[in-house]
Structures are given as structure tokens and as C-alpha cells.
Structure 1
Amino acid sequence: MPTPPRHVVHLIYRFTTGGLENVVVQLINNLPHGEFRHTVVAITDADHQFVQRIERKDVNVICLNKPPGQPFALYPKTYRLLRRLKPDVVHTCNLAALEFMPMAALAGVPLRVHAEHGMDMGEINTKGSRYLTLRKIYKPFVHEFIAVSKPLQGYLQRKLGVAPAHVHLIPNGVDTHMFRPPHAQDPAPPGFPFERDRHWVIGTVGRQVHIKNPLMLVDAFIDLAQSSMDGTERLRLAMVGDGPLLGEIAKRVRAANLEDRAWLPGVRGDVADILRSLDCFVLPSLSEGTSCTLQEAMATGLRIVVTDVGGNAELLEHGACGSLVPSGNVEALKLQLLQQLRGSGHDQAAAALNSARERHGLSVVMQQYRELFLGRPRSVSAAAARHEP
């Protein structure tokens, strides 16, 4: 008699455009369909357009519609839901979802896995003491932890006190077939206003929120565009994504009279095509785990400039695959962009492309998650060791 597929419930705060949410979609679409089935439980809500990225037709997306405030009022509803779903695995991401792990334990879920993808603004602003205390409270309800970068792995082991055997370093993966260097015959994405070769396009993809610090890139672009230095007349800016800072971004661009040189299309479903239309990718974040969009830019063969936070340096092999600048330092970002505009960065881009293909392909990452969700954590650790640089 064939073994029924293991039921994985992915419990996350909101199911919308974002890095950790993209990982959940990758898991659903790429883990062997005969071995796993999936349910997504969004603590708040889900974006209908983002849900369409799920290719399987047997996946339910359930929204708990949590109001602002503490999670405890939703505990009974979550417990009843998990008792009804009877998952083999509950997979939570980041602190907001970790707070619901006691209900998974109470519901008798056999395997409880928690993934840390990075810190939020609250943790950065308070130096994380309160959030560390919360994680310590919920730690006993988790069997296995995932860290997407070495800094997060160290945090879980040293700060949280998780035994090394139960912390699994699994960086995010990238689909190197979808995200690839451009071909001469590739058409421009719909609505893309700039011309290849004539313009030099700096771009980023992500949520326009404080922790991603998009205003650092906007300010650097405005200063360079208004500088009259040789070559800067070619500069153009593309910022893909939505969020509370989008209005401020548009306001600063408008005040600088650069509206015809900046493109702010909001959320897009054709990110791979847009990345192939850029010349340089910038990630100005205040905090990162392993950035999915950075990996996608690497697989596209772009010149790259990022802030030296979280897992960025590790991903770029400490400068071999792209340039690192201090977080919040607009002058340093301007200098790097100017150097890239004037021709540097080709070797780094080639190294980034090779690294994405060799170290961060989806097949490697999916196998590690597969082993973990099947209850074989030692196999995960061995696989991670084999792919250490």
C-alpha cells in the first residue's frame, strides 16, 4: 500500500509578495508532489495575485484575519484548525508565526519546523532583547530550526541556545532557468520606458518599507543624476514593488524633476524579465537573511551593489560577486554606482552568475527541505556540509 503524502502546513503572517513568501511558493511547487501536499495558513490575509503563483491545484490558502494586537485571541481558532487539518509538519517563518507554535504542539503535530529569514524593524530598533525573550519562550515547542544565513545560524545557536544538531543552514534558492542573463532577442517588459544600450538602468525589487531602506537608493540616484558628471545623463532608476514608502519615493523623484528618468510600476509578476532589463541591481536594506531578489539578480548576471548587512556578504562571497557598502551610507553607494557606470563590476557579475548556478540552485535547496520535512534532519546537515564553499 503506497504511503500517503505528508501534509505540510505553512503558517506565515501574510501571504503576499516577499522573500519568505516566495520560498513557501517554491516549496509547494517544487517538492515532490507524490511525497507532499500543502496548506497555507496566513495569520492575517493573502494577496489574490500572489496566490496565483502556486502551480498546484490542490493547495488551500486559509486566512485567519488577525486584527492588530496580541495573537492569543486566535489561539483557540488556530488549535481547532490544526486539529481538523491533521498536518504531519507545521512550518512557520519568523517571529509572528512562531508565536502560534504552542497551538501546533497542543494539537499534536508530529514535526514542528521554524525558519528564521531575518530581523524586522522592531528587532533592529530595540536591539532585539524583547524579541529574543519571546523566541526563548516559544523555543521548546519547535523540533527543528532553519536559518537562511550564517549570521542567523549563529544567532539561533549562541543567542537562543538551540543545539547545533537542530539548526539547519538552508539558504534560499533561485530558479536558474527562469532567472537567466538576457538574450539579444528578449523583448522589453510591458511598460518598461527605458532603452537598452542608450540608458543605464539601476534597479531594485522589493517591498517599499523601512527595513528595505529604498530611500537610500532614491537619494543616491537623485544626487548622481543631478551631478552633471560624465555619463550620469544615462542613469535611469527602476524600483519594483509596493509599500508605505512608495509615496515618499515618488515625492522625492518629483521634487528633483526626475519623473521621466524613474519608473515606479508597483508590484509586478514579470520580475525575471524586468531584471534582465537592468544594468545594475541595488539592495539597500537595513537587514536581510538570504535575499531571494539578490539571488535572482546574481542568476541574471547583473552588476550588484548591496549594503553589508545580514547574509548579503556571505551570499556575495565577501565582495567576489558584487560590491558591499555600509548600511545607510548614501555617499558610499553613490561612489560604487559611479564606478559600476564607468565599467567596473564585469568580473563580479560573472562570478555571481556562476555562484548562483553552482551553490544556490533550487534542486539543492529543495532536497534539504525534503529531507527535513521527511524527518531526516541528519541528512539535511550532511547535505549542507557538502555544499559549503
Structure 2
Amino acid sequence: MCGQPDAPLVAHLIYRLDFGGLENLLVERINRMPAHAYRHAVVCLLDHTDFAKRISKPDVQLYALHKQSGLSLATHAALFKLLRRLRPAILHTYNLAAMEYAPAALLAGVPARINGMHGREATDPEGRNRKHNLLRRLMLPFYDCCYANSGAMLSWSRDVIGVPEHKSALLANGIDAERFRPRADAEARPDFGFGPGCRVIGSVGRVQDVKDHATLVEAFALLRARAPQQAANLRLAIVGDGPLLPNLREQVRSLGLEGLVWLPGARSDVAEILRGLDMYVISSIAEGTPGSVLEAMASNLPVVGTRVGGVPEVVAEGVTGQLVSPRDPQAMAEALARYVDDPILAAAHGAAGRARVLTHYSMPAMVAGYQALYDSLCQRKTPFRKSIESCVE
């Protein structure tokens, strides 16, 4: 039998458990990883929202440290005490926000420590902030592995931060291609209140600086002005909550787009919503491997994306979508216009996108990759796991 009755605990340290691509894939891995292999706890530096209800696996522990702004040494102490009590085999931290807590884990006796680089901050989209990069370098000795979820991020971590090859790995995102699928012929299409006959451009993601939805809204306004004949049937849907949602609603109002742009906030029916779109856009200024783009591709949608981070690795330009420079609403409008003008091209790119997801970004492969990393570290660093038999097939 693979695994142990008393499976090792993985403590996932995340800034906040809320609607987002990183958070969604974290929950998917927890739900899908075999229960006999690992137990899981999610520790939030801030807090969590109702998004936590998406964790369907029983007995997943959830904690909130309510970190104050700044250094907040009390948060380091609180994490130390929590880890001493939980005794996890692995601390898995996510992105820069959680990276500095590895020393507390080491002092608490956590045998293995992993940091995942899933993207960069809006204030430093290209990873040039000297203080941030100094922190990353200072933390390297405390980690056994610093993986990335895109080839671009992996190269940057090795070349700029100096992550040694034996401590680095590429763990690509995966998508549930059964849940995210094309709309069946007999399946009703959601209209989002727009009515029949509309062509809907969509985007899904937390409404925050790094996603730069303001550029998307501006591009939509430019697209309507460029194509007045089609403008009557063009609509925009931006799904997600976040600190900039009020600003985005004000931008829509100021551009005279009320009634043409749907801003519902966070939704739990994203797969169904994607089946109601005609094309997908990601306007981010920084990304790892964007799970939302993979979900859109799995749903047969052509993609217009910004040429940042791991987006060009996912979107094959001229095959599954088009790439434009970030913060360039004119270029984004022109790319969208190509799909508006040529529905056959849009359909061809959408079908090629789903085929690419099925070939390169499967959910079982993603889960197996993370489990293999956990297994290798437990074999190496946790005495009671020396004889573990890998569950990965």
C-alpha cells in the first residue's frame, strides 16, 4: 500500500486565501492529491474568505495570522508557535509575500521548505527591485527547493536571483479539461443580461494592479470606436473581485460603457461563464503561468494576451491566440478586432488552444509533479519517510 496511515502534513503558507489563479490551483492540488499520501493545512498571513469553502477534502486545517503591515515580527513568532504545534513535514510558501518566513520554519523544526514562484508584484513586474531580490537571495539557504511555474520565471530565478540548479524546478500549471470544456451544441449559452446575438469578450481574475484591467476597458472602448458596425453587438465581461473593482466601475461609467460591461465580482461558476464567451483577454503586466488563460483555452476560446512572464509559453502566437505589449490598449484593440472581423480565425485558434491544453497542461500531471517533489524531499529529509513508495505513476 502506498503512503502511511498517518500521512505527513504539508503546511501551505499564502498571503490571503481568496479568489485568484494561484489560490484556485492550490485548492485543486489539495483536493486531488491522494489522502493517504499527504495531509494539508493552509496558513494565511492575512485571512481567508468564502473561497476557502472550495476545499472539499475533509480535515484540511485552515489558519489566519492577521498580519499587520510592515515587518510584523509578531507574525513570525505566531507562525513559529503554530508550526511547533502542527509539526508539518513540509512548509510550502508562495511568492515573495511568504518567502521570508522560512527561517521561522527552520527554527520550528520543519524538515523541508519549498517556495513557489507563481508571479511577481505589480510594483515590480520585471523583477528588478533590488530590495526584493536581496530578500530572495538571503532566503535561498533556508529553502530546499525554489520552483517556478513558467520557463521565463525559472530562467529569471536562476540568472537573477542565483537559485542553484539542484534547488530549482519547473512545475507547470494544470487544468481540469472536463470541467473547462467547450459549450455543447444543445447547451444554452449564458447571456449575462446582454441578450441574444452579442459577441462577448471576457477576462477572469482578481481586480488588482498586476492584472491591469483598466487597459482592457480602454481597449474595449477603442474597439467599439474602430468597428462601429459591429459595436452594437460587442460586450465585455470582467469576472473577479478585488481592491480596484470600484475604480473599474467608475472607468466604465466615465467612458459611457454602462450596460455594455458586466462586472459581477467573484463568481463560483467560472467554467459556465467561459462557455458563454467568444474570446478571452489577459491584460496583466506580470504573470507566471496564467491558469485563467489555460481554462479559457480548454473552453475553446481564442486568447489575446500580453507578452509578459509565462503568457507567451502558454499562448502560441498565431496558433492559439495573439500577443501584444502590456499597457498598450491600441494594440489590444487591434488584436481583438482581428477576431471580431474573422470568426473563422477565432474558432480555429480556440480549437487549437484546447488541443494544446490537453497535450501539455493536464491536471493529473500537475498534481503528480507536486506530489513527486514532496515525495523526494520527504525521502531525503524526513526519517520516517525513508521507505516511502512513490504514488506517482
Q: Normalising by structure 1, what TM-score?
A: 0.92
* Contact kept in structure 2, 1:371 and 1:377, CA below 8 Å: no
Q: What corresponds to 1:383 in structure 2?
A: none
Cα distance in 2 for residues equivalent to 1:261 and 1:231:
13
Counterpart code for 1:233: A
Q: CA deviation at 1:260?
A: 1.6
Cα distance in 2 for residues equivalent to 1:313 and 1:130:
28
SS in 2 for 1:365: helix
* Contact kept in structure 1, 2:89 and 2:378, CA below 8 Å: no
CA 1:377–1:291: 2 relative to 1, 3 Å: farther
The reply on whether 1:303 has 2:302 as its aligned counterpart is yes
Cα distance in 2 for residues equivalent to 1:235 and 1:342:
12
Q: CA deviation at 1:228?
A: 5.1
Number of equivalences: 375
Counterpart code for 2:20: G
The reply on whether 1:289 has 2:288 as its aligned counterpart is yes
The correspondence of residues 340-355 of structure 1 with structure 2, limited to 5 A, is 340-343=339-342, 344-355=345-356
Q: Which ranges of structure 1 fall in alignment gaps of 5 or more residues?
A: 379-389
Q: What corresponds to 2:322 in structure 1?
A: 323
* Contact kept in structure 2, 1:313 and 1:319, CA below 8 Å: no
Equivalent residue in structure 2 for 1:27, among 22, 29, 32 = 29
Cα distance in 2 for residues equivalent to 1:315 and 1:145:
21
* Contact kept in structure 2, 1:89 and 1:113, CA below 8 Å: yes
Cα distance in 1 for residues equivalent to 2:374 and 2:126:
34
Cα distance in 1 for residues equivalent to 2:76 and 2:338:
53
Q: CA deviation at 1:257?
A: 2.7
Cα distance in 2 for residues equivalent to 1:93 and 1:163:
19
* Contact kept in structure 2, 1:111 and 1:375, CA below 8 Å: no
SS in 2 for 1:317: coil
Q: Normalising by structure 2, what TM-score?
A: 0.91
Q: CA deviation at 1:187?
A: 3.6
Counterpart code for 2:182: P
Q: What corresponds to 1:333 in structure 2?
A: 332
Q: What corresponds to 1:365 in structure 2?
A: 366
Q: What corresponds to 2:192 in structure 1?
A: 192
Counterpart code for 2:68: P
CA 1:166–1:125: 2 relative to 1, 3 Å: closer
The correspondence of residues 254-293 of structure 1 with structure 2, limited to 5 A, is 254-293=253-292
Of all paired residues, the percent bearing the same amino acid is: 37
SS in 1 for 2:10: strand
* Contact kept in structure 1, 2:126 and 2:286, CA below 8 Å: no
* Contact kept in structure 2, 1:71 and 1:99, CA below 8 Å: no
CA 1:114–1:254: 2 relative to 1, 3 Å: same
Cα distance in 1 for residues equivalent to 2:256 and 2:98:
43
Q: What corresponds to 2:142 in structure 1?
A: 141
Cα distance in 1 for residues equivalent to 2:376 and 2:206:
34
Cα distance in 1 for residues equivalent to 2:330 and 2:63:
45
Give the CA RMSD over aligned residues.
Answer: 1.8
The correspondence of residues 103-122 of structure 1 with structure 2, limited to 5 A, is 103-122=104-123
CA 1:363–1:284: 2 relative to 1, 3 Å: same
Q: Which stretch shows the higher mean deviation, 122-131 or 311-320?
A: 122-131
SS in 2 for 1:207: coil
Q: What corresponds to 2:18 in structure 1?
A: 16
The correspondence of residues 56-205 of structure 1 with structure 2, limited to 5 A, is 56-124=57-125, 127-189=128-190, 192-195=192-195, 198-205=197-204
Q: What corresponds to 1:7 in structure 2?
A: 9
* Contact kept in structure 1, 2:216 and 2:329, CA below 8 Å: yes
SS in 1 for 2:376: coil
Cα deviation, 1:87-144, whole Å, max 9, x if unaligned, reads 0111000011111111111111111111000110232388321110000111110001
Counterpart code for 1:46: H
* Contact kept in structure 1, 2:89 and 2:111, CA below 8 Å: yes
Cα distance in 2 for residues equivalent to 1:153 and 1:377:
23
* Contact kept in structure 2, 1:166 and 1:377, CA below 8 Å: no
Q: CA deviation at 1:69?
A: 1.2
SS in 2 for 1:168: coil
Counterpart code for 2:223: L
Q: What corresponds to 2:390 in structure 1?
A: none
Q: What corresponds to 1:36 in structure 2?
A: 38
